[in-house]
Amino acid sequence: MAKQTERKYSGFLNRTYKSILRFWEYVSRGVWRDTRNNFFVNSVKTINLSVTCFFSGDLQTKACAMTFRTLLSIIPALALIFAIGRGFGIQDNIETELIHYFPAQEQLLRSSFGFVDSYLQQASGGVFVGVGIVFLLWTLISLLSSVEKAFNDIWQVPAGRSFWRKISDYTTIFILLPVLMIMSGGISLVMTTGLKYLLPSETMAPLISLLIDFAGIVLTWLFFTGTYILIPNVKVKFKNALLAGVLVGSAYQLLQWGFISGQLYVAKYNAIYGGFSFLPLFMIWLQLVWLLTLIGAVVCYSSQNINEFNFGDNIKNVSINYRRELSVIIMTIIAKRFAQNMRPLSVNELGSKYGIPINIVTPVVNRLRDIGLVNFVLPNHKRQSLPDIQPNINICDLTIKDVLDKINRHGDSNFIPALHKRYRPVINLYHDIMKVSHAHAEQIKLIDISIDV
């Protein structure tokens, strides 16, 4: 009886172990061969791609760089915001809102307010004129430019905004920021007053407080959502940005709670650093915030591009013949769209519309460009830096044989001394076979091939 129980137990463990192995093989590799479009498959792909991008994108180093740039930009940023606030008479309101948004950093903010007041007193003597204002704006634009570059690297966007767009877009952000902060505070005040009026009973006070806290969380979600939509120089879908915004916004609220709660247990830490104890804690907090922000950008990118990484393992080992077939297919699509006066597509749009993974469309299109069959043109119809693709050759008489010949002949050849002389019989047979296989292909024009585009 004991042996029978032992065998059953051993069999159960063996089946469990094999099930775990099958599940791991699926979530790590097999899911990219699963073309089903449902919540489970898409979630596994998003997590898989996010983890891969996290480790390959060196986000820790990027977060450290962003922390350093932020430290350099804190005083100039607050000075510009307070200068605008003074003009509208709302500086005290801005200070209150900043402490409300960053309760874990109240000590640092109050210290920074003193530096800002000194900065603005000097500015009233003419620092804001000429070189002073240029340096201030350069510091802020440099910070946001580095944020944009980090996001563009995650999205694999080769180019960012132009210099003049950076100046106009970033300056607008810092001018509108104090106004938005006051509006947010006003909305919270109106909601509090309205709820107290609608729910006057003292027993409803906890519910009112809960609703106000939830409204703050929702605003945090929307802030990160807007960040993931506006900062990358590429078109981001709202649903993907919202997913990342909710995840990162929730994590940010937990981080705030953790730092506020943890300040009660750092008495020994304060004894070591004294009045400067807030600075190391602030740097740790700031780096974690930037790391969360970059992770959110990775989640946003992954959730929007999961279908473009299907069959990744197969693509790494794609055969020469299959790559040539895909090259002819993609060139045919480009030629027929051009012949039918259809809008040119980018690499991402080609992959998404015609069901070809982006990580094979990109090298194929780049090779077609190198051999002179296609060209890249800047788009005018959307906010993105990825170029559209158009034919770079007369497509009226372009045949399959022409495409294959250009692909086969592109690159260096005939550089090994005496190779053709020593192996002439093999080379002659190879060319004879290629002539037979291309005999019919030279009569088929790409624009005459019957496919739907």
Any idea what the CATH number is for the domain that residue 408 is in?
1.10.10.10
Contact of 357 with 308, CB cutoff 8 Å: yes
Long-range contacts of 130-133 (CB under 8 A, 24+ apart): none
Hey, which bits of 293-425 come out as E strands?
A: 345-346, 374-377, 388-391
Cα-Cα-Cα-Cα torsion 3, 8, 13, 14, nearest 10 degrees, comes to: 100
Q: 282, 308, 334: which is the final residue of a domain?
A: 308
State whether 286 and 394 are in the same domain. Answer: no
Residues 294 and 397 in one domain: no
Does one domain contain both 341 and 280? no
- Do 108 and 150 belong to one domain? yes
Tell whether 75 and 209 lie within a shared domain: yes
Helix (H, G, I), strand (E, B) or coil at 402: helix
- Quick one: 284 and 389 in the same domain? no
Q: Is 216 found in the same domain as 145?
A: yes
Task: Confirm whether 1 is domain-assigned.
Answer: no
Of 322, 383, 395, the residue nearest 356 (C-alpha): 322
Regarding whether 163 and 31 lie in a shared domain, the answer is no
298 plus 340 within the same structural domain:
no
| Residue 316: exposure state from Cβ atoms within 10 A (0-12, 13-18, ≥19) | exposed
Question: Is there a single domain that holds both residue 323 and residue 335?
Answer: yes
Q: Give pTM, 2 decimals.
A: 0.70
User: b/e map of 29-58 (b: 16 or more CB within 10 Å)?
Assistant: eebbeeeeeeeeebebbbbbbbeebbeebe
Smallest Cα–Cα separation from 209: which of 199, 224, 221? 199
Range of the domain at 367: 319-448
Taking the CB of residue 145, how many other CB atoms lie within 10 A of it?
A: 17
Could you tell me which of 276, 310, 254 has the C-alpha nearest to residue 48? 310
- 217 and 330 share a domain? no
Q: Is residue 434 part of a domain?
A: yes
Domain boundary among 260, 286, 308: 308
Distance of CA 16 to the CA centre of its chain: 37
- Structural domain includes residue 156: yes
Q: Provide the residue-wise pLDDT of the chain in tens; the chain has 453 residues.
A: 556 666 666 777 788 888 899 889 888 888 887 877 788 888 998 898 888 888 887 888 899 988 988 888 777 777 777 776 666 666 677 677 677 666 666 677 777 777 777 666 665 555 444 555 666 677 777 888 888 989 988 887 777 777 777 777 776 766 665 555 556 555 555 555 565 566 665 666 666 667 766 777 888 898 889 889 888 888 899 999 999 999 999 998 888 888 777 665 555 555 555 555 667 777 888 899 999 999 999 999 999 888 767 777 777 788 888 988 999 999 999 999 999 999 999 888 888 788 788 778 888 998 999 999 999 887 765 545 568 899 988 888 898 888 988 888 888 888 788 888 888 888 888 777 777 666 666 778 888 888 888
**What is the chain's length?**
453
Considering the domain architecture, whether residues 425 and 374 belong to the same structural domain is answered as yes
Which residue reads 């991008």 in tokens? 53
Number of domains in the chain: 3
Q: Which phi and psi angles does 38 have, rounded to 5°?
A: -135, 175
Backbone angles phi, psi at 252, to 5 degrees: -65, -40
**What stretches of 38-155 adopt beta strand conformation (E)?**
none
The DSSP code sequence of 129-187 is: STHHHHHHHHHHHHHHHHHHHHHHHHHT-S----HHHHHHHHHHHHHHHHHHHHHHHHH
The token duo for 389 is 């693709």
